[in-house]
Amino acid sequence: MLPRALQSLRCPLCAGGLTELASGTGRALRCSSGHSFDVARQGYVSLDTGRRAHSGDTAEMIAAREGFLAAGHYAFVTDAIVGAVRDAWAGGGCPGLVVDAGAGTGHHLAAVLDALPGSSGLALDVSKAALRRAARAHPRAAAGLCDTWGRLPLADGAAELLLNVFAPRNGPEFHRVLAPGGALVVVTPAAEHLGELVGALGLLAVDPEKADRVAASLGERFVPEREVRATRALVLTHAEVRTLVAMGPSAWHADPTALQARMEALHDPVRVTAAVRVGSYRRR
């Protein structure tokens, strides 16, 4: 595992530091108390206490997301994230460790690391299918399995930059693991995001109180510095729309038969509005 990430990780059971060792079946991270966590052959470490309430996105959802992102449809989102990161570090230098909480495939983290040649990355997610890809997303990125709703397996102040892209926001833990003055970049869907598909296909709509809920989740622990809206008109084939639905939260709820019937009523290709908010915050 990358030295900078390993130095920052902590045992999820006792919060002790971790050392990488060879085990009978491969590699593992172990603390001084004897707690051991296997490194999967795909490269990610399972920092799991066995009390996860959910297993995250499925292999099918992750495969759909990887394909959609690779096609460049959300390149404008990645560009907006990189722009926010550059603004946060406009004074020069690079953050030591960049943590992506709810990293998915590590796609956005990889782009940020390309823009920060002196930084190392750590992708955290609860989905094993996601981490199999995130562990290979960038040569300067490590990956760990954990529930980002709970205590993060990181030392206090371990990260100088934290990314949170379409993922749960754990305000108290984000504050704990960020170094004093560290930056947080949060990406959430805007109200009109995928609006043309919500009614037509019966997808989940964006919560109209989303911005207020983001502010409440961060509370007084962070100072908002800047917010930008990034919008793009996408022209998608029916196959691409199916991939888009399959990679997001509607995949848990959509009935495939009903979805297909509604899809057939749409023009092909379909013009879809993609819109996100990219907020930058500074740790108090």
Q: Which residues of 203-235 are buried (b: 16+ CB within 10 A; e: fewer)?
A: beebeeeeeeebeebbeebbeeeeeeebebebe
pTM beyond 0.85: the answer is: yes
What secondary structure does DSSP assign to 249-284, as a single string? Answer: GGGGT--HHHHHHHHHTS-SSEEEEEEEEEEEEEE-
User: What is the pLDDT at residue 25?
Assistant: 72
What secondary structure does DSSP assign to 39-54, as a single string? Answer: EPTTS-EE---S--S-
Nearest alpha-carbon partner for 149 in 101, 77, 198, 205: 101
Q: Dihedral through CA 230, CA 231, CA 237, CA 238, nearest 10?
A: 90
Over residues 139-166, the pLDDT tens digits come to 999 999 999 999 999 999 999 999 999 9
Sheet bearing 141-145, strands edge to edge: 19-22, 27-30, 36-39, 45-46, 141-145, 120-125, 97-101, 159-165, 178-189, 270-283, 222-236
Over residues 20-72, the pLDDT tens digits come to 998 667 899 999 999 999 999 999 999 988 766 678 899 999 999 999 999 99
User: What is the pLDDT at residue 254?
Assistant: 75
Those residues with Cβ within 8 angstroms of residue 71's Cβ, 6 or more apart along the chain or in another chain = 240
> Which residues share a beta bridge with 163?
100, 185
User: What is the pLDDT at residue 55?
Assistant: 80
> Which portions of the chain are predicted below pLDDT 50?
none
CB neighbours (10 Å) of residue 79? 14
Return d(Cα 243, Cα 246) in angstroms, integer: 5
At 273, the amino acid letter reads T
User: What is the pLDDT at residue 164?
Assistant: 97
CB 45 within 8 A of CB 37: yes
User: What is the pLDDT at residue 48?
Assistant: 84
Return d(Cα 276, Cα 80) in angstroms, integer: 9
222-236 vs 178-189, strand pairing mode: unpaired
